[in-house]
């Protein structure tokens, strides 16, 4: 079974950990290849890992929005 490479971008550590646990339990075809705590690190992870799927927090308390990251992608 081919796995889907994915990256998680969320500023909250516990939210990332919870999502990883849920994915491991219920989505065996999803492979987490990277994670980031904000837009800047998220962009670096996406560029270096080239995921097929992105789990993206839309509203981050740091003042950035997930949509800002999407605007930076080709």
pLDDT mean across residues, the chain: 90
Beta-carbon contacts of residue 44 (< 8 Å; ≥ 6 apart): 36
The domain that holds 62 is classified in CATH as: 3.40.50.2300
Phi/psi for 7 (5° steps) reads -130, 140
Q: What 3-state DSSP class applies to 36?
A: strand
Among 73, 40, 33, 38, smallest CA distance to 58 is for: 38
Tell me the whole-structure pTM to 2 decimals.
Answer: 0.89
Determine the structural domain holding residue 65 and report its residue range.
Answer: 4-72
Distance CA 43, CA 3 (A): 22
**Could you give the number of structural domains in the chain?**
1
- Return the structure tokens found at 36: 């980031």
pLDDT at 62 over 70: no
**In the predicted model, what is the mean pLDDT of residues 9-26?**
95
């Amino acid at each position: 079974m081919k796995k889907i490479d994915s990256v998680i971008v969320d500023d909250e550590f516990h939210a990332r950990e919870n999502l990883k646990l849920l994915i491991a339990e219920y989505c065996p075809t999803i492979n987490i290849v990277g994670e980031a705590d904000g837009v800047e690190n998220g962009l670096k992870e996406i560029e270096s890992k080239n995921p097929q799927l992105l789990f993206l927090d839309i509203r981050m308390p740091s003042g950035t929005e997930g949509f800002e990251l999407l605007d930076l992608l080709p």
